[in-house]
A and B are shown apart, each in its own frame.
Chain A
């Protein structure tokens, strides 16, 4: 198929790997900060092909994993209201809150529907005028523009029973916070979808101020291998910069239309990230003029007290300080069927990817 098989060509993969091996001298660590990259790297068995000099680490790239348990608890609290229909992306429903999950709430009668787009949620709102329809908005710049488009549509169509509960976050702040915390990495495999929206400029600080290499990568194995090659080359040459490998989707200026929609609808706010704490201007909240669509402001709800993550080291894993295998819960009490932490639930989570693809590797 066009755009799939071409990027999974074994002979080309072999050639890139040969080139990587030929230039890689220093021991380096590269971090991906996108759940899609984490999954692809493990699904295609990329670590098994790389020379020992290159270590791949998973960073805070899975939106479900970096969100707080309090966020899940509040979503659950909304779902327990009799006049509320929850609409959400599928990944979220199995994430454990303090005492329940949205999946468990479906079992007790909550009306929770998986949608593929906020526009589906708007249709549900129009079809159910006597209910409050809450869309749980999660994700980085990849999904934030579609939430913005949904809110703009809802305002235009005067849909008064539609609300967004935003956990949207933006990407550059955690990448800088990790370096500030002293996490030892040599370069970032920068997120492809996020960059399609933002463009490449958001990473310039990382190469200029922090001296770290950044390559924006696509999601197919050849994309990732080529990005790794470009990073190794930059690091070996001592020329850190931002490069775009995923040029078939990412333009330096990004998607101006999407950025304008985000700007129209959202303000920046300080937000909490698992493992990193509160980061300045790292989350998105609805602007005051759209506050009638803001679930947090418009729907009163009692949220249960947030329980601690007992023994879970998701935070350190998200910082690349530890690997899932270092966690004493991993593959013992914490498995995809019975997840303790968010990193094991989400298909894009580092623990899930390690469990599924390289547990015994």
Chain B
């Protein structure tokens, strides 16, 4: 008998769920195919066969190992879909198809897995992408931390957008835009970790940004660069943006939005919010004449409501990002070395 409902399955993941036998089949049809529901996946062929009309493809992959697996504002599943969708979208591509590979620790709860898979399906639907192929492996207890997910994604890219990911067309005077407050994801994750004993109602900003980005791209043909400010935070993206380039950039710290709770937690822990991870924020470089129309388009989307110009591309100090601090001082904005660690005093 083929099991097609999770209610009839074991309540824990067993090694057998990754063996390729009956249990694997039950898991695939009862959970993954059920939720990811699309004709390509339903065929359950060794490879998903995709039809793409455009001449350029964007292709990306990312692995997700977040701890804790469930956090305020999302879970590892929402992150796995949004992360890959956003990597495609910031390259100027329209995300179309995702793969999804699970490495699950023996004993992981079936209900928890279902919640994760359901969130992935919902997030994919919202973003208009299909999860068309996947894999499941189960490892011995202690050989991985609960669940790891890898997603790869394919998107179609118009020729005229091919330089967005490298920022080749950036020039002096272009404006730098961010779509809202920074540091929410990193601090929500940290607060959710039990050992910190901090209670907060902070939520991760984890979200698929492709629809918001599409609106912005519709408003201007002159978006020169986009990148999502994930690990390493806003400062790292800005620092990478100028690294080895013939231009520099200037940021005005007072124009960067930081949630009061994020600010407070960063103060307690000695963190700099500019280096804290985001999962729903992008840095965009736009021709100065189009900055207003792009801002309008971004603000028309729920995820870009608080978009602002935070700075501009300059021709002095090439290769460097500079920040005008909140009290009017100037300093360099550098990449994060290693990880941010709580301070001693």
The answer to whether A360 and B344 have CB atoms under 8 Å apart is no
| Tier of interface size on chain B | 20 to 34
The answer to whether A138 and B334 have CB atoms under 8 Å apart is no
Query: Which 5 pairs show the lowest CB-CB distances between chains A and B?
Result: A45-B329, A336-B337, A90-B341, A142-B345, A13-B327
The reply on A108 being an interface residue by CB < 8 A is no
Q: B260 contacts which chain A residues (CB < 8 A)?
A: 1
* Known contacts A10-B254, A94-B338; A48/B345 CB under 8 A: no
- Within 193-244 of B, Cβ neighbours of A (below 8 Å) are at 195-197
Q: A9 contacts which chain B residues (CB < 8 A)?
A: 327
Q: B343 contacts which chain A residues (CB < 8 A)?
A: 35-36, 89-91, 347-348
The answer to whether A359 and B334 have CB atoms under 8 Å apart is yes
Instruction: Select the residue from B263, B330, B345 with max chain A CB neighbours within 10 A.
Output: B345
Which listed residue (B267, B320, B329) contacts A49, Cβ 8 A?
B329
The answer to whether A43 and B331 have CB atoms under 8 Å apart is yes
- Within 295-330 of A, Cβ neighbours of B (below 8 Å) are at none
Shortest Cβ distance from A63 into B: residue: B344
Separation of A158 and B329 alpha carbons in the complex (Å): 52
The reply on A361 being an interface residue by CB < 8 A is yes
The reply on B317 being an interface residue by CB < 8 A is yes
CB distance from B202 to the nearest CB of A (A): 14
The answer to whether B341 and A44 have CB atoms under 8 Å apart is no
The answer to whether A116 and B334 have CB atoms under 8 Å apart is no
The answer to whether A36 and B345 have CB atoms under 8 Å apart is yes
Shortest Cβ distance from B268 into A: residue: A116
Q: B325 contacts which chain A residues (CB < 8 A)?
A: 43-45, 221
- Within 211-244 of A, Cβ neighbours of B (below 8 Å) are at 221-222, 225
Shortest Cβ distance from A359 into B: residue: B332
The reply on B21 being an interface residue by CB < 8 A is no
The reply on B342 being an interface residue by CB < 8 A is yes
Q: A89 contacts which chain B residues (CB < 8 A)?
A: 342-344
The reply on A337 being an interface residue by CB < 8 A is yes
Q: B328 contacts which chain A residues (CB < 8 A)?
A: 10, 13-14, 45, 49
Separation of A14 and B327 alpha carbons in the complex (Å): 8
Residues of B within 8 A of A (CB): 195-197, 254, 260, 263-264, 267, 270, 272, 317, 320, 323-332, 334, 337-338, 341-345
Which listed residue (B317, B327, B337, B345) contacts A44, Cβ 8 A?
B327
Separation of A10 and B255 alpha carbons in the complex (Å): 13
Separation of A337 and B338 alpha carbons in the complex (Å): 6
The reply on A264 being an interface residue by CB < 8 A is no
The number of inter-chain residue pairs (CB within 8 angstroms) is 116
Residues of A within 8 A of B (CB): 1, 4, 8-10, 13-14, 35-36, 42-49, 63-64, 89-94, 114-116, 120, 138-140, 142-143, 193, 221-222, 225, 335-337, 346-348, 355-361
Chosen A-B contacts, 15 in total, with CB atoms closer than 8 Å, are A8-B326, A10-B326, A44-B325, A44-B327, A45-B328, A90-B343, A90-B344, A94-B341, A115-B195, A116-B196, A116-B342, A139-B345, A355-B334, A356-B332, A361-B330
CB distance from A25 to the nearest CB of B (A): 23
Separation of A360 and B323 alpha carbons in the complex (Å): 13
Q: A48 contacts which chain B residues (CB < 8 A)?
A: 329-331
Q: A346 contacts which chain B residues (CB < 8 A)?
A: 344
The answer to whether A8 and B342 have CB atoms under 8 Å apart is no
Q: A92 contacts which chain B residues (CB < 8 A)?
A: 344
Which listed residue (B196, B317, B338, B345) contacts A63, Cβ 8 A?
B345
Q: A142 contacts which chain B residues (CB < 8 A)?
A: 344-345
Q: A4 contacts which chain B residues (CB < 8 A)?
A: 263-264, 267
* Known contacts A116-B342, A142-B345; A360/B327 CB under 8 A: no
- If A45-B330, A49-B329 are given as contacts, then 15 extra A-B residue pairs at C-beta distance below 8 Å, sorted by A number, are A1-B264, A8-B326, A35-B344, A42-B331, A45-B323, A63-B345, A90-B342, A94-B338, A114-B342, A115-B195, A140-B345, A346-B344, A347-B270, A357-B331, A358-B331
Shortest Cβ distance from A94 into B: residue: B338
Separation of A35 and B320 alpha carbons in the complex (Å): 26
* Known contacts A8-B327, A44-B325, A221-B327; A357/B341 CB under 8 A: no
Which listed residue (A63, A120, A222) contacts B195, Cβ 8 A?
A120
Separation of A43 and B323 alpha carbons in the complex (Å): 10
The answer to whether B344 and A91 have CB atoms under 8 Å apart is yes
The answer to whether A347 and B327 have CB atoms under 8 Å apart is no
Shortest Cβ distance from A46 into B: residue: B329
Separation of A8 and B328 alpha carbons in the complex (Å): 10
Separation of A44 and B332 alpha carbons in the complex (Å): 11
Separation of A138 and B345 alpha carbons in the complex (Å): 10
Which listed residue (B334, B338, B341) contacts A114, Cβ 8 A?
B341
CB distance from A354 to the nearest CB of B (A): 10
Separation of A80 and B196 alpha carbons in the complex (Å): 26
CB distance from B232 to the nearest CB of A (A): 12
Instruction: Select the residue from A48, A142, A222, A225 with max chain B CB neighbours within 10 A.
Output: A48
The answer to whether B341 and A93 have CB atoms under 8 Å apart is yes
Which listed residue (A1, A47, A115, A337) contacts B337, Cβ 8 A?
A337
Q: B254 contacts which chain A residues (CB < 8 A)?
A: 10
Q: A63 contacts which chain B residues (CB < 8 A)?
A: 344-345
Q: A44 contacts which chain B residues (CB < 8 A)?
A: 325-327, 329, 331
* Known contacts A10-B254, A221-B326; A43/B272 CB under 8 A: yes
Q: B334 contacts which chain A residues (CB < 8 A)?
A: 355-357, 359
CB distance from A28 to the nearest CB of B (A): 19
* Known contacts A336-B338, A337-B338; A45/B331 CB under 8 A: yes
The answer to whether B264 and A139 have CB atoms under 8 Å apart is no
Q: A93 contacts which chain B residues (CB < 8 A)?
A: 341
Separation of A8 and B325 alpha carbons in the complex (Å): 10
CB distance from B282 to the nearest CB of A (A): 24
Shortest Cβ distance from B269 into A: residue: A116
Separation of A97 and B343 alpha carbons in the complex (Å): 19
Shortest Cβ distance from B328 into A: residue: A10
